[in-house]
Copies of this chain bind each other. A is one copy, B any other.
Amino acid sequence: MKKIILLIIINLTGVLGFAQEPLTAKYDLMPWPKEIKENKGKFVIDSSLTISITSIKSERVDHAATQFLRRLTNRTGVFLNEGFPLENKKGDIQIQFDAVSKLDIKNNESYTLIVDPSAIKITAKTDVGASRALATLLQLIDNNTTEYFIPGVSITDEPRFVWRGLMIDVSRHFQPIAVLKRNLDAMASMKMNVFHWHLTDDQGIRIESKMYPKLTEQASDGLFYTHEQIKDIVAYADKLGIRVIPEIDVPGHASAFLTAYPELGSKDGYDYQIERFSGVFNPTFNPTIDATYTFLENLFAEITPLFPDEYFHIGGDENEGKHWDESKAIQKFKKKHKLNTNHDLQTYFNVKLEKILNEQGKKLMGWDEIMTPDMPTTAVIHSWRGENEGLAKGGTLIEAAKQGYQTVLSNGFYIDRMQSVVDHYTIEPIGDVKLTEAERERILGGEATMWSELVTPLTIDSRIWPRTAAIAERFWSPKEINNVENMRKRLEVVSFQLEELGLTHIKNRAVILRSMTNNQNITSLLNLSNLCEPLKIYARNLDGIEYKTYSPFNLFADACVADASDALKFNKVASEFVQGGDNKAVIGFFTTWSNDYKSFIQLEKNPKITPLEPLYKNLALVSGLLSEALQTKKISRENLKTIQNTMILLREPVADVELVIVGALNDLTAYCESNYLKK
């Protein structure tokens, strides 16, 4: 880990950061590499292009090289003569590495990549490093009108953090194998290396147990992964250099577990059911009975062989202990064992699980509630709480590292909150905190968390991507790479390339809108969706009781995304205008929206479209009046009043979305009032 410390020191000098600025404008690499220099010339892509691997056999590199050729072919349209890596002779792209990785937190993912007009050379310590180099190389492909090429560059790269993860909750909404595979592909393309698989929760058990078949028979609605499918996913991830960490969330979040095995619950006679709503619920394992530990020990023993990774996540979050309070037997047990609080009781439970997992060769990892004085430092703290949960900024990450725990940060990376990518990208995990080398080494990295209350296979990609690519950069790249505007520019390219890779985040928006309109022209709705964002920070599905797991999730809000693209552009040009710029671009938007509204009202209406009608009408009204004011440089008191009254309506959420140009419209209104109002 010394290298990383060294990197921090180098970066603090600012040399790298400054040197890279011009190149971040020129290339669309993400995550941005540690070092990049330009060489002369370019490598031209034509049908004779070949790849060779002059090392020991690695399925990872074979796969990465073959996929590289497929993607290069499809992107460029170049018909390659040779569709597979060469054996026993040198190709144009020459890959060399020293060893096949054991995927663990010590794994070396560094590489160098040198592009010259005559050849491309990739060297790495490991096959995973070589695969990371190919991901970079794909992002370098460029073209002019007559040919595709790779610009001459020399790149030396390695990650800042060893743990760069994505958690997917498959309990609230089950996600088929194909969804997971395409997201693993996307992770690898962003050099992420940990897939945290949240397999159980109140809404369903998603992992087969042969020992406890009732788990899936009674508590999965038939939606779960077989052992074979889990092995398939783990193998697929391994090929991409991605570790898989399973999570079995206990003792809380146990409605589904206890639906199948109510005798393990804390409240006798309680009618446990698969939960259909969202939130924090009371069903909790009984930590005072042996049966609970026998069950979990057996279950873990069955599951752990499926997951070769050393880390095993037991959740441990959000147990409010109500059912513990309501049980006389549990209260008696607490007294007897001098466990003063429910937190003490949970620690008692966690310490027992830690021992069970240790005996099975696993390291226990849990959400930060597990960090209590009695918890051994062999446990790993997954820091999720922060200011919103009443903790200090940055949450428990630094504290855990200082107390001797390995730790991973998710606070700030809750992508289900539907916040702007900027909110995540500007989180700096360590900041200026002074750490010893050992403390720094214990901060493993971070994870974006995709809780799935409001996502289905149709929409999950658009909730994870492209924002997670920027988070991946935060975990991989030097901390000095933090220019938001430049990140947005690169992210736009990356987002489009993720579609090329097989993700559905762009194309499924049209699917939802076609469905909404019953297959009418969707242009006006698509343009509206580019001005609206789904309600953020759990304001959609307030208190978890608006949507059930089987409610519709192909509504207008589901076609909208966290960073509405036209809103970003409009807010920018409006701000520029107010600061003395030209009014043309602003008027251009207003004209579009007025015209779009005309198209919208032509649509044959149905109960899904109708709720958007007032929103669109009011937007068109304000657009028309402001446009007139901007063009005539005059506004009547009456029109101003109309605008102001309409703005009040536009501020209200509609159909679970908010119009995110309201601030800019207000600024323009104020500008018109100040400058154009007839006195």
Interface residues of A (CB under 8 A from B): 63, 66, 69-70, 73-80, 83-84, 143-148, 176-178, 221-222, 226, 228, 276, 492-493, 496, 499-500, 504, 506-508, 510-511, 514-516, 518-519, 547-555, 605-608, 610
Contact = CB atoms under 8 A, between A and B. Distances in A.
Contact of A550 (B73, B499, B548): B73
B515 A550 contact: no
A144 B228 CA distance: 47
A222 B83 CA distance: 14
A519 to B, nearest CB: 4
B550 A70 contact: yes
A74 B518 contact: no
Nearest to A553: B74
A222 to B, nearest CB: 8
Contacts of A510: 507, 510
Nearest to A274: B84
Contact of A177 (B146, B177, B500, B519): B177
A84 B220 CA distance: 13
A663 to B, nearest CB: 27
Nearest to A608: B77
Number of copies: 2
B83 A549 contact: yes
* A interface SS class: loop
A178 to B, nearest CB: 3
Contacts of A515: 74-75, 499-500
Identify which of A70, A222, A511, A605 gathers the most chain B CB atoms within 10 Å of its CB: A511
Contacts of A63: 222
Nearest to A549: B83
Nearest to A228: B228
Contact of A499 (B73, B145, B177, B511): B511
A607 B547 CA distance: 48
Contacts of A610: 145-146
Nearest to A512: B74
Given A177-B177, A506-B514, A519-B496, A145 B552 contact: no
Nearest to A70: B550
Nearest to A523: B523
Q: Give the residue among A63, A77, A552 with the most B Cβ atoms within 10 A.
A: A77
A173 to B, nearest CB: 11
List the 4 closest pairs (A to B, CB-CB), nearest first: A83-B550, A178-B178, A496-B519, A507-B507
Contact of A74 (B66, B276, B547, B554): B554
A679 to B, nearest CB: 44
Contact of A551 (B73, B146, B177, B547): B73
Contacts of A79: 547-548, 551-552
Contact of A496 (B70, B506, B514): B514
A516 B143 CA distance: 12
5 contacts: A79-B552, A145-B610, A226-B228, A499-B514, A507-B511
